[in-house]
Amino acid sequence: MYRTHTCGELNLRHSGNEVTLSGWVQRSRDHGGMTFIDLRDRYGITQLVFDMETNGELCREARKLGREFVIRVEGTVRERSNKNPKMATGDIEIDVRMLWVLNASLLPPFTIEDETDGGEELRMKFRYLDLRRNKMKKNLELRHRMAGEIRKYLDKQSFIEIETPVMIKSTPEGARDFVVPSRMNQGEFYALPQSPQIFKQLLMVAGYDRYFQIVKCFRDEDLRADRQPEFTQVDCEMSFAGQEDVLNTFEGLAKHLFQEIKNIDFNGPFPRITFKDAMDRYGTDKPDIRFRMEITELKEFTRGHNFQVFDDAEYVGAICAENCAGYTRKQIDKLTDFVKRPQIGAKGMVWVKYNEDGTIKSSVDKFYDEAALHKWIGACGARQGDLVLIMAGERIATQEALSELRLEMGRQLDLVMEGDFAPLWVVDFPLFEWDQETGRFYAKHHPFTSPRPEDIALLDSDPASVRANAYDLVINGVEIGGGSVRIHNKDLQGKMFEKLGFTHEQAKEQFGFLMEAFRYGAPPHAGVAFGFDRWVAVFAGSDSIRDVIAFPKNNSGRDLMIDSPSSISHEQLQELRLKIDDTGNDK
Ligand code: ASP
């Protein structure tokens, strides 16, 4: 028998018991005649003691054990003289009688500790060692528990989990597809799903009125901390349901998770905010509402003072940082550098200090006298001691820059308490998004999203102002999920494809099967999908979804451990009748 107990469960009640434990050597210490070893497994750490006086040979054996050796021991549980109240097993130790080395280990390239000395690249290359760390273990356990609670909740609500294929045909969700060549159908390719969108809609046509799936999705896009080429969605769809039904059902899911996983009881409804309000008040469609510091539009107060920068700008907006009038020149310069970073791209920043003594100082007081600046201060709700920061330019870009500045001030002023959660729904997204580069409209969500009925008339005359029946769940400034009420009428769907620039033939070629299905009694339906990795990361308090994925890829889409992607053999290429064109490839 390898073990009678795990390394996380023994305590004083087991004193005197004969036990067998197996695990890894976390660390070993010699103290006079004693050798202490911390033995680790998934469940915890137990202290082993080897006594030179009573069993010199065994103690000498123990001293040879290196870090991460796999061992089995037999011994007696006894009370420790030097208790460690921070450890679950801190009251006891094992007086070891027998020791077996099950496997030796090379010295790990980084320490298997909470605060490890290994950089991310190294930890990715030896991910199986990184996963031995407590933090990673806790994250994977959290992920498992969340998946379990999601299944429990949705099952209770009569949702059933149905798997959909992984080798499909391109679905237009906005990103590039990963493709898989077909050997049996030469010259043809499958695409990996960006989401099961079309399949879940077909399941609604098939009558499975409440579907969900915890499912891998694939998008070939540039990676960031919250993006991976393959990621997991909690994908859901409901028939005979509209926006209200979806929001209520899945607010229920979110509350269930908060309750079961975080022990937080949200009794009131989640706030809802329209896309337009979110942009106007927070400069983003995923506002972090754990703190206020809302944006105020100032254009009307800035006109007519010959300050060209503001006069020429489409938009002028400000945030008010409470109690920051004392910011030094250096601090303000740093903030200006922050907003000028290429990722944010602002040209500059104007400030107004409303000092404690009631005086006003500003970087633009050459153009604006005190009375004018008082109007700004009034509009922003600033009080004595506050600092108002202003930016101007093209509307959306400036709002987005203000959003970044707001988040930065939130960080500087410690406005966010650890363990605080602020969920909300963002609703009424625009149906289309104009793309300057290609000069055409794209679906803001995806082409199956229905316009709000009262806006359908605007589809031809003013497409940019058509609102969609689409919604996002946002927690702490992270977009956790999004969905929409779908189009279930083939004519409206046809019109949508037309607006998105598909010819009749293209639409038929790509979505003929969906249009066909819609002719066989498609029920009204709506759905949502949640980014499971992001949700787990937010609950884990982590900024990167890599921390909650067992085997993630790095920012270049590489798995450093198995070294993929990799080239394939000449025979494989030949079988697929593929040729690599390496012109321009400098490898
Ligand atoms: N398929 C959508 C997405 O992946 C979500 C949905 O509309 O249900 O974003």
Q: How far is the CA of 52 from the centre of ligand 1 (A)?
A: 64
**Ligand 1: which of 429, 446, 484 to mutate, most ligand atoms within 8 Å of CB?**
446
**pLDDT of res. 584:** 65
Q: Which single residue is written with the structure tokens 């070629």?
A: 509
**Ligand 1 atom showing the smallest separation from residue 470 Cα:** 7
Instruction: Write the CA distances from 566 to 179, 558, 562, integer angstroms.
Output: 15, 9, 9
CA nearest neighbour of 369 among 355, 386, 352:
352
Give the CA distances from residue 209 to residues 86, 157, 242, 522, in Å, rounded to whole numbers and listed in that order: 50, 11, 13, 11
Exposure on the CB side of residue 585, measured as CA atoms within 13 A: 5
For the stretch 148-182, pLDDT in tens is 999 999 999 999 999 999 999 876 667 899 999 99
**pLDDT value at position 586?**
53
Return the pLDDT at 436: 84
Residues in a beta bridge with 388 = 320, 352
Ligand 1 centre distance from Cα of residue 422 (Å) = 22
Give the pTM. Answer: 0.95
SS3 state at 22: strand
Evaluate whether 12-103 and 291-415 have a shared fold.
no
Q: Is 527 in the pocket of ligand 1 (CB under 6 A)?
A: yes
Whether the CB of 447 sits within 6 Å of ligand 1: no
Task: Determine whether the shortest distance from the Cβ of 196 to ligand 1 is under 6 A.
Answer: no
Cα separation of 282 and 321, whole Å? 14
**What's the pLDDT score for residue 587?**
47
Chunked into runs of 10 residues, the chain (587 residues) has average pLDDT values of 97 98 96 94 97 95 97 98 94 98 97 90 96 96 98 98 94 82 94 96 98 97 87 98 98 98 95 98 98 97 95 97 97 97 95 97 96 96 98 97 98 94 98 89 93 94 95 98 96 91 88 92 98 98 95 94 96 94 68
Ligand 1 contact, 388 CB (< 6 A): no
Is 213's C-beta closer than 6 angstroms to any atom of ligand 1? Answer: no
CA 545 to chain centre: 5
The candidate with the shortest Cα–Cα distance to 520, out of 488, 564, 562, is 488
Classify 360 as helix, strand or coil.
strand
Distance CA 200, CA 218 (A): 16
Q: Whose CA is nearest to atom 4 of ligand 1?
A: 195
CATH class of 12-103: mainly beta
Ligand 1 touching residue 482 (CB < 6 A): yes
Fold of 138-272+424-548: BirA Bifunctional Protein; domain 2 (3.30.930)
Ligand 1 atom 7: the closest Cα is on which residue? 483
The residue ranges of every structural domain in the chain are 12-103, 138-272+424-548, 291-415
For CA atoms 30, 34, 39, 44, the dihedral sign is: negative
What confidence score (pLDDT) does residue 437 get?
Answer: 86
* pLDDT for residue 179: 95
Residue 530 CA to ligand 1 center (angstroms) comes to 8
Q: Which ligand 1 atom is the nearest neighbour of the CA of 482?
A: 5
Interior CA angle at 409 toward 417 and 372, to 5°?
A: 135
Q: 349: Cβ below 6 Å to ligand 1?
A: no
Q: What angle do CA 35, 41, 43 make, to 5 degrees?
A: 120
Question: Top-level CATH class of 291-415?
Answer: alpha beta
Ligand 1 contacts CB of residue 484 (under 6 A): yes
Give CA 403 to chain center in angstroms: 18
Binding site membership of 195 for ligand 1 (Cβ less than 6 Å): yes
Q: Is 296 in the pocket of ligand 1 (CB under 6 A)?
A: no
